[in-house]
Chains A and B, each alone.
Chain A
Amino acid sequence: MSIYYILQDQRKCIGCLSCEVHCKSNKGLPLGPRLGQIIPVGPKMVADLPKQAFVFMPCFHCEEPWCVPACPTGAMRQRPRDGIVYVDHTLCVGCKSCITACPWGAPQWNPETGKAVKCDYCMDRIDKGLKPACVTKCVTHCLLFGKADKLDQSRRQQFAKNVAFELDQVVSAR
C-alpha cells in the first residue's frame, strides 16, 4: 500500500462529480477514461429519510498490486519510496493486461494514445509539495489526502466534533 491515502468524508460529498473533471482536465484526458470515479449508491430510505452515498474510487495503490505483475513490459510499476502505482507510458504497449487484472477497474483505457492510464495520485504535484487535483479543488473539501497513518487521526477528530454537538446527526449520517 502506498503511504498515502485519500479519505472521503461521505457526509460532505454531494456527488457533484467535480473531482472527475479536475482529474481529467489536469491530465488532459480525452472522452473515455475516468481515473477517479464517483459511484452513486441509492437513494435508499435510512431511518425514514432518503439517503444517497457517493463512493469515491480512485486507484487504491495496493501494497501488492494485481496490475504490476500482470504487466508484461514493466510499464506498470510501484514507486519504491512511497508505493505509488503508476504507468510509465514509454513502456506501455496497450495490451490491457492491467485492466483485466485489477479487481476494482482502476486502470483505464486511453483511446487517444492506445495505452493504459491510471490514477497516480498526481505524483508530479505531490513531488512539488502539492495535493492531487481531485483533492485540491473538491467543492466541499470532502476529500482529504495525506499519509495513511495520519488520516486516521483526522477522522477521529471529526467524529469527536460531531459527537460533541449532536449525537443523532452522527448516527443518521452513517
Chain B
Amino acid sequence: MPQEVFSICFMCTVRCPIRVEVENDEVTWIEGNPYVPGIEGAICAKGSAGLALLNDSERPQYPMIRTGPRGAGQWRRASWEEALDYVADRLKAIVGEFGGQSVVFGERTNLNTHISKTFVKALGSPNHFTHDALCKGSLNTAFRTLTGFTDAQVGVDYANSRHVVFYGRNLFESLEIKAINNLFKALDKGAKLTYIDPRVTITATKANRYWMIRPGTDLALNYALIHTILKEGLEDEEYVRRWVKGLEQLRTFVEPYTPEWAAQECGILAEDIVALAREVAADKPHVVFHYGYRSSHHPNEIYLRRSLIILNALMGAIETPGGLFFKKGLKAAGRGDIGKYVSQEFPKISAPRFDGSGSTQFPIADSSHGNPQMLAHAILKEDPYPIKALIVNRFEPLQSLPDSATVREALDKLDLIVDIDVNYSEIGWYADVLLPESTYLERGDSIQAISGLKPQLFIRKPAVSPRYDTKPAWWIIKELANRLDLGQYLPYATLEDIWNFQLKDTGAKLEDFDEKGFVVLSDKALWWDRDKDIQFKTPSGKIELASTLMENAGFPSFTPYVPVPPPPEGHFRLTVGRCAAHTHVSTQNNLYLSELVPENELWINTAPAARLGIQDGALVEVVSPIRTVRLKAKVTDWIHPEAVFMLHGFGKTVPVQTRCYQKGASDALLQENVSDHAGGSPALDETLVTVRAI
C-alpha cells in the first residue's frame, strides 16, 4: 500500500494543497487535496509535472563554487560545510568593511520569509526585498490608500457573484484552481462574465461579453463607468453614504469623462459602456470589478487600480457576499497568531533601504516588500551606498527585472552573489556560489496560515528524501546564521522545532494535520456586518476616495487622464503575460511542461503583419529602445493592432537547461525600467517596440 502524505504544491506561488502517494521513497502520484472544497483532487499541469522536477537530472545536485568568470559555467563541487563557510567568510568581511546594509537579500515571498527576514535583520541590513512590487506593488498601495488593507488581505467571493468583470485578469490561464471552480459555480447559477483585454485569451472565450480595448486605456473606461454610475444614480446609496469618504470630489472629478469621450479613447461604443454600468448595477452588491493580479503596466498604475476598487465601493461590493471580502486571520477565529521569528527584537538598523522604498523613491510603497527594480541603479551608482553582496532565493533578477541587460552589468560590480535555488536559473548560473535547494516534495517548510472567511492552517511535509545533495532554505539560512554568530535569532534545529514554535499560540497541534493535511479554525464564514461594522483601517475608518495616505505624501487622490496616443506607424505596445503550462520564469525546462509550450511567440495582428511582410511562424526581430530579440511570429486576428504580446520567462541562456536553452526570447531584455512611483510597481507595458521580418 502506498503511503499518503499531505503537503502543499510549490510549482507556482498559488500553493494548492496536495495529496502525495509514496512507495519505497518514490513519489508515485500527486493530486489536489481531495478534502479541500474547490480543489477536490484537481491539480494543474504544473502540479502533476512536479514529478518531472523531482526526478530531473537538469537541476543543481550539490553545492557549487564558481571557478571561472561569472556565467561561464565553470564550477567545482563543494561540500555543504565548505560552501557555507565560503559564503559566511565573505559575508563577514563585507559586513565588516561596508556595513550590514551592503548585503541585499531577494526572494519570492514564501513560507520561510519570516526566517530570511530574520536573518537579514540580524545581519544589520534593512535590505530584504520580495518579488511582490514587480507584480502587484501598485495594487497593494491602491488598496491601502482606499481601505487601509493590502491586496493580500482581500479576497473575491466568486461563488456567490452575479457579475464578474475582468480587466486582463486571465484567470483561466493563470490558474488559481479554487477561484476557477468557484467562478464556474457562479456561472452555473447564471452569473455573467465580462472580459476586457487587448488580446483574446482563453478567459475571453468563456465570457458573456468581450471587449478588445485599446491597450493602455482601461483607466479611461473606468472613469466613464464611474461617470455613468454617478450620473444615473446607480451606486449603492446606503452603503456609499455609510462607508465612502470623498464622493463629491469624485463626482466633480469624473464629470468630463463621458462614455462618448471614453469611446474615442478605448475603441468601445459609448452605449456599450453605459449598458455595462447598468447591467452590473442591476446585480449589485453581489458583483466584482476584479482589481487584477499583476498590476505593473503603466506609470499611472495606482490610479487604474484605485478606479477598480472604487467601482466595487460604489456597487457596495466590499465586504459583501458575491463581492470582495477582507480575509480574517487567526485572531478573528479566536486563536493566537502563528509564530514568526521576525517578530522578535533586533539591534537598531540606521541605514535607509537601498531602493528608497517607503522613503525617497517610493514614499508610500510597501517597504516590507521593497522595490527591486532599483537594484541595478543602486549597485551601479552606489546610491544611497555601496552594495557588495546579493543573496537570492527563488527570485530571478535576470528575467524578472526590466532592462535585465543592465541588471547583468550591475551584478558584475558585486563582490558576492549567492543563489539558493531548486533550478539552474539565470542568476544561479551567474552566481559565485550555488546552494541547491531541495524541491517541495523533498522538504518541509514553515506552516502556512491562510487568512480568509474561514482561517485555516496548511502544512508542507516532506514526501520523500532528497534525490541529490540538496537542503531546505530554512536549514541553509540557519547554518549561515550560525557561522555569522547570529544563530540565536533562529532558535531551531529541526523542522519540528519551527512547527512547534509557530503553533504555540494557535491552539492547533501537529497531529491535527494528520487526517486531511489542514486545520480549519472557524466553522462559519467570518463576515463583518456590512451595515455597521466594516473595520476599514484608514484614518477615517471609511473607504477614502480622497486618500489621506496619498495626499500626505504629495500625490493627488485624482489625477486628470492623460490620453494614450496610438503608437507611431510601425510601433507596437509590448504586452506580456503567461499561459497555463508555465509558472513565470521557473518551469520552462520541465520535461512535461516544455513539451506543452516549448517557446514563446510574438502575437501580432494580421493587418500590421501583412504591411510588414511578416508571415505566421517566421522568425522576427523585436526592437525596443534598449535591446533587440528574435522569436517566432504568431500572426493572428485575436490581438489589438496596436499591441504585440509575448509570454514571460523564455529566452534562457543556461546551457545545462537543455530543453529550454535559447528557446524564444526574454521580455525583460526589451522592457524599459520605468516605474509608478506612487504605487511602487515598474511599468512593464510602457515600452513601444518595432517588429521586422528577417
Q: Is B181 within 8 A of A141, CB to CB?
A: yes
Q: Is A139 within 8 A of B190, CB to CB?
A: no
Task: Give A34's nearest chain B residue, CB to CB.
Answer: B595
Binary contact track B275-291/A, C-beta < 8 Å → 1, others 0? 00000000000000000
Q: Is B45 within 8 A of A21, CB to CB?
A: yes
Q: Is B45 within 8 A of A50, CB to CB?
A: no
Q: Is A138 within 8 A of B42, CB to CB?
A: yes
Tell me which residues from 34 to 62 in chain A have a Cβ below 8 Å from any Cβ of chain B.
34, 42-43, 49-52
Complex alpha-carbon distance, A50 and B44, angstroms: 24
What distance in Å separates the Cβ of A119 from its nearest Cβ neighbour in chain B? 16
- How many residues in B have their beta carbons less than 8 Å from beta carbons of A? 43
What distance in Å separates the Cβ of A94 from its nearest Cβ neighbour in chain B? 21
Q: Is B43 within 8 A of A139, CB to CB?
A: yes
Complex alpha-carbon distance, A123 and B580, angstroms: 28
- Tell yes or no: B270 within 8 A of A by CB: no
What distance in Å separates the Cβ of B207 from its nearest Cβ neighbour in chain A? 7
What distance in Å separates the Cβ of B592 from its nearest Cβ neighbour in chain A? 5
- Tell yes or no: B173 within 8 A of A by CB: yes
Task: Give B594's nearest chain A residue, CB to CB.
Answer: A31
On chain A, the residues within 8 Å of B41 by CB distance are 136-137
How many pairs of A and B residues are in contact by the CB < 8 Å rule? 102
What distance in Å separates the Cβ of A160 from its nearest Cβ neighbour in chain B? 12
Q: Is B31 within 8 A of A169, CB to CB?
A: no
Tell me which residues from 1 to 37 in chain A have a Cβ below 8 Å from any Cβ of chain B.
12, 14-18, 20-22, 24-26, 30-31, 34
Partner of B205, one of A17, A50, A138, A161: A50
- How many residues in A have their beta carbons less than 8 Å from beta carbons of B? 33
Complex alpha-carbon distance, A12 and B177, angstroms: 13
Q: Is B45 within 8 A of A20, CB to CB?
A: yes
Q: Is A140 within 8 A of B180, CB to CB?
A: yes
Complex alpha-carbon distance, A102 and B187, angstroms: 38
**Contacts A43-B205, A141-B181; A161 near B188 (Cβ below 8 A):** yes
Q: Is B200 within 8 A of A50, CB to CB?
A: yes
Q: Is B45 within 8 A of A169, CB to CB?
A: no
Q: Is A165 within 8 A of B190, CB to CB?
A: yes
- Tell yes or no: A172 within 8 A of B by CB: yes
- Tell yes or no: B172 within 8 A of A by CB: yes
On chain A, the residues within 8 Å of B200 by CB distance are 43, 50
What distance in Å separates the Cβ of A95 from its nearest Cβ neighbour in chain B? 25
Task: Give B27's nearest chain A residue, CB to CB.
Answer: A25
Q: Is B596 within 8 A of A25, CB to CB?
A: no
On chain A, the residues within 8 Å of B204 by CB distance are 43, 50
Partner of A14, one of B29, B43, B580: B580
What distance in Å separates the Cβ of B582 from its nearest Cβ neighbour in chain A? 11
Partner of B580, one of A17, A42, A166: A17
Task: Give B31's nearest chain A residue, CB to CB.
Answer: A137
Instruction: Mark the stretch among B48-56, B81-89, B444-452 that contacts chain A.
Output: B48-56
On chain B, the residues within 8 Å of A161 by CB distance are 188
Task: Give B49's nearest chain A residue, CB to CB.
Answer: A21
- Tell yes or no: B493 within 8 A of A by CB: no
Q: Is B189 within 8 A of A31, CB to CB?
A: no
Binary contact track B8-43/A, C-beta < 8 Å → 1, others 0? 000000000000000000000111100000001111
Q: Is B42 within 8 A of A140, CB to CB?
A: yes
What distance in Å separates the Cβ of B108 from its nearest Cβ neighbour in chain A? 22
Closest CB pairs A-B (n = 9): A16-B580, A52-B205, A21-B45, A14-B172, A165-B190, A18-B45, A166-B190, A21-B48, A25-B48
Interface pairs (14), CB distance under 8 Å: A15-B202, A16-B45, A16-B172, A21-B592, A21-B596, A25-B30, A26-B29, A49-B210, A51-B205, A52-B205, A137-B31, A138-B42, A165-B188, A169-B190
